[in-house]
Structures are given as structure tokens and as C-alpha cells.
Structure 1
């Protein structure tokens, strides 16, 4: 039974915490500040009920500061480096500035809802993206759920999930897209050639015709490119497994993505561990062959200075001039550049939309779901994915349809300009 004692005008209640001290005596916890003895005793009875049923939260644990708990929670996670870095950034920049000095037990549902409303207002004002706000709220929900179920720092989570349509309806805003047009890809590729030479030309065609993610295309290395893969693969098992399959069907291997991990450049597994092989239409394979013959970089798409693309100001120095155009540059010979026209259909848009275009092309051509989703680096969920299998015929059909698009573009659009093939470097002496 809990014990109530008065101290001046207020009383406190003590109850057994379900543990024993080193000397064998029972360990008690207490709460002060009551003015009504019956309410104090009732509070103590509730705590003892929780102890008996494994629902108790230690007073000392519940008083832990959010800034301490959040970092302890983060260090306990076992996730991909990219996810760990993303969580660290959101905790540091968005969660702790608001909640850091609060105790874990003091965060209330009402306060959480006010904070959520404030974040969404920042998204409406354009200060934060809606996707980023959703990620922040999802992360905070996981942190508080674990405070309840795993670490027993509080009795319930303050995060109330929104189910149904209570409150004012707000339609989900989606990014405005244009249907895929070969003329738009061509215009971007022409501008990329002015910005970045033949590397830019090939890069801009590779994006919509492979659907690779930005980190994957930055991390594409020579040994995994179609001119030499799979025979150049350093893994003997993959060489033997794919040599016959891709003997007459050029393909590249998505083995890595290049990104920062804890502030350092690292080659890590693709997003969702989506290692995959991508067959290329002949025109793109020839472009890759010519490109790799013109440089000796280990990267298929080296930067303007010859190093990796990761670490460059890609949006500012590459994509924005390609997309929005730029005035002519004079001055030093190595910096001169002709005027770059803007591409109205892509003005202000993300380069990632060219990955969306690839999905659009595959869907228009009517390929099997397993072939489309595997190529995009996705899994087909449930029984459909369990029974489906990507066959050689499916891959061959994708390569043929993509090649048909290229040939139809050359025949119908009759582009007025195509870049000269770059000079091949002499083979290195061994």
C-alpha cells in the first residue's frame, strides 16, 4: 500500500517501485505537491497497479531531457548510413530546438499538435517541403513510440495518428508534371553539352533511359558500365552468373550510390538495397562506349574538373544552366561559353523528374509490372512479387522499345544537331 505523509501544507505519497536496494530493502519512489490526502493515495495506488502489471515508468527515467533521450535513441538504431544521417539532421535542426529542454514525460498531445500545425504552416509558406515535414513527424512519432514501448519512459505517446478525415479537408498537393517528350530531353542534352561537353550529353540521355537515381548515377564506375560489364565485375560470382545472360544484350550494373556518410564521401549500397542490372538500348550503349574511350576516370560521368560529381555544386553549376539557360561567358579561354537557351518545359523543375519520365515510358510501352518495378529499383509487394520473375525476354523487350523511341525521334523530329564523337585516348601501356 502507498504511504502518505504531510510536510507543511502539502503531502507526498510513496510507493514501491518494484525493485530492491542492494541491502535487500524495497526501493520506493515518491511524488510531492498534493493538497488532498485521498488524491495522493489514489495516485500511489495507480502507480502500484502499474508496477504489478509491468506498466510502470520510473520517475527518474521520465524526467530525462529530450535532448539526452533523442541522441541515445539515435545511437541505438541500426540503419543504413544515409538514414542515420537524415535522422541526425532532423533531430538536430527541427526536433531539439523545440523539445530539447523538455523532459520526456512532459511532452503532451496538445503541445505536439500545436507543433505539427506550425511545421505544416512552414510547409505552406514554402519554408519547408511537405515531404520533409512528413519525415520530421514520422521520426518524432517513432522516437516517442519507443519511449513508451521499448524504454518505458512514459505511459503513452503524445503523437496521435491522424486516421480518417476529421477537420478541414486539404487536398494533397502534387508536383505538376509534363508528359514525356523526346524534344525536351534533346533540348536538355544540347544544353548539357555546352555546360559539360560530351559527358553532359550522355548523362542527360542516361537519366530518362535508365531511371537511375542521382546517387546511383554519381556512383556509376567504369567497371560496372555496359562496354565491359559483366566481364569486368570484380565479383567472380556475378561475372559467371551474368556473362551468358548479357552476352548479346548490353547492360550496366547498379552496384553503388555515391553520397556523404558522416561528412565523408562513401560508396554505399543503392537505396533500399536495390542492386540491379539495367539493359541499355543500343544507341545509349554506343554513347557510353564513346564516352569511356575519351577519358580514363574511374567514374563514368566525371565532373568538369575530372573528379567525382559528388562534392560539386551540381544544382548551381550544372543543372540550373542546363534547365534555365545562361548568358554567354567571355574572358579566359577555359571559361568561355556560348549562350545557353532555357528549356521552358523544365524551367524551375527538378532533374529527378527525368527518372519519372523513364517510368512513364515503360508504362506506355506496356511492360510487365515486375520488369518495370525491378528496373526502377522497387519491390513488388505481396504474392504478386513472390510469384513474379524478371526474364531475359522482358529485358530484351525493354531495350527494343527504348531503341524504337530513339530511332522514331531521329526519323520524325530530324534534330538539326548531334554532337561530334569525342577523340579516343590511346590505350595505356602496360
Structure 2
């Protein structure tokens, strides 16, 4: 018996030694970077991947343009971009795109005089603001948009539950839909607690849900013009809504755009050209998209680096408006500073907020080519649930067979199959699903495979 136990012990030590050696062999240091659009998704994702698989992957947010250049030069082993690689930046080695997550692009603004009102903007008004022809917040076009869609204001500037935010949508004159968003840590801390929509006049609950695993939940309910509502999570108030009479201020509009070459910019410009005004260009540089350029507008147009820089500028500057990913626009700290997000009128005539569900509805009307690139359809005239402005973000990886490229393949396949479906909504993104996910996984498998 003693000898048998010794043999078992020796075998266990040998197996442990083999497993330890295998783990050491598999561990890789891999550096990537590029698009800032997916950073709030990638940061927790890569941290979890490294913990789970014992690798050391890093991702540096530089903007899509620099990401594509650094991938071509070999500075980045893999890269991220929200726009296609231009001919001048095509690598000389084998590589592929991998669509791995998407997100709506928010039109975010800070206008304290509105006291929390959600703006509703038509494509024509967005064209005027970002094209420079609408330069004041009291412009008749903005006023007309607000007349077409009842204005509800969230008077609570700071949520009592850190990481919980809301978006309001008018379904009709007599009904509304509220989307409650919670970051992953907030979701975990409040699991099992109640989400309540309370009519302030009657003090009664209109709808009650239980916090589960979904980072974004919707509540649809009837409304009247004189109603006011409180939204609570675990008994703490995260928002307070009532219909408001809007007096637009006589105040200059300052447009904030990306100063660096940006896939977020490219996708915003694609929307402007494809859905609004064919005179717009499509480029990673904002000044090259706007008809006639931006220098003629002087300080009314200001550039900031990456989406975080844009979001921070809007948050600290009253009278500003910009375009950026929803995760940065809905950041609780920026919301507490006064940042609000506009509803955009889609091709079916509905004013829709930039929710994960709304952008997924829009993506469903698009198409995907053999490279994995997804093209958008902005003419979905019967799709009232679609939020029409956003981006798909792509990984760029090398196909040459080496250990680091195989780890990159593992990362992107895991993002599409595991992390994205579980966490994208809570982080403010839209997971890649269905046929697009199937193609994305197939493309990921090409990394390090040749």
C-alpha cells in the first residue's frame, strides 16, 4: 500500500509539473492598440482573459488611424479599428478583419438651461449642427424637432446608485419606454433587487422588475402629459422624469469633434453621407468630412483626442455637442456633470435613443461581405425600433503561424462567443450575434493559422 501511494504521489507531481510547464509555454506577451471606441469594452475583457488564460495581452487606445498604421509597421501585433483599412495602410503580410462588438454612436450634449430635457433631433438638424449652418441653440430647426416629440426631462442630475443610468423614449403620445442600464459591477451588487417605476402623484409602482443578468432592461408604460415618475433600484432613486416646457436659450453651439484620425468619426460621417447629405465625405479625419471643411468656423468647432477626451470636454463645457460611443457618453461621472444624450429620428420617423437593442435592430437590416465588413442600411423605412447611428469595431490580426497570433485568435473568438454576449449590454455595447458572429469566429480562427 505504501509503495502504491508513493507511485500515485509521484504521478500527481509529474502531471502537475507537465501542466505547469505547459502553462508556462502557453503564456504570451502580446501588444495591440488602436480604436478608442471599444476601450470600455476591451479593458475589462482583456483583464478577464489574461486572468483566465494566463497571458499578458495589452491594448493601447490610440484611435483607429494610428492603430492601422502601427499594425502595418508591426508596432502592434494586433489592432482595433472602426473603419476599413485604406489602401495606403494595407499591410504587406497576411491579415484579416474580425468583427467582434458594435455600439451605437450617441449625439451627446451639455446644455444646462434645459434642466435635464432629452433633445429629439432629426437628421436634417444634425446635419445643420455638425455642418455648421445651425450655430445657436434657439434655432427654429431644433425647436421644430422638439414640437414633434414630447419633451421629458430627468431632473435628477446624479443617480443614487453608482453605475445606473436611464434613457427615455416616447413610443407614442400616450406611452413611453424607459431603458435602465447598469454597469457590470452595479449589476452584480444589485442582483435580486427591485427596479421600480413609481408614479409620483399616486406613490404607486407602475412597473416592477427584478435585477437579473441583463445590463439593459426596458420598461414600457402609459403616460399622460402631467405625469411624473421616479425610477428606483433597490429603493434608491436613479432618475426622476416629468414632461417639460422647453425654452431654448440664445446660446452659441460649440461642436466638439475628434482631433485624431478616428473610426468613430468615419462611421459618423458614413451616417451623414448615407442618411442625410451626400455632400459629406467619408474619412477618419472630421475636417475632411464636413462639406467645405471646419476651419471657417473658428473656435465654434474644437477637436479633442479620442472619445474620452471628447466626452470630458463636453462634460465640463456648457453649450457643447458631439458624437461619441454610448459608453463614454453615458459614463455616470459625465452624466452627473450634465451630459445628456439625444434621441435621433430614424427613417421610419421614430425618435429613438442609442440603446443596445435599438442598434441591434438597425444592424439586422445591414449586410456583411466576405472580409467580415458590415455595411449599413439607413433606409429602413418600416423599422421603427432602429437607432440608425453607430459602428462595428474590428480586430486586425496576422494570419502567419506563430504563438502570439494564435493567442490573438483565442482572444477574439472568446470575445465573440463568451465575453460579448454576457457583458456587452452592461458596458454600453451591442454584441455581435447570428450569422455575423459565425463569420467573425471563422475569421478569428485565421489568426496564426497559415
Normalization by structure 2: what TM-score?
Answer: 0.23
Bigger relative contact order, structure 1 or 2, given CA contacts below 8 A and separation 6+?
2
Greater fraction helix: 1
Greater fraction strand: 2
Normalization by structure 1: what TM-score?
Answer: 0.24
Greater Cα radius of gyration, structure 1 or 2:
1
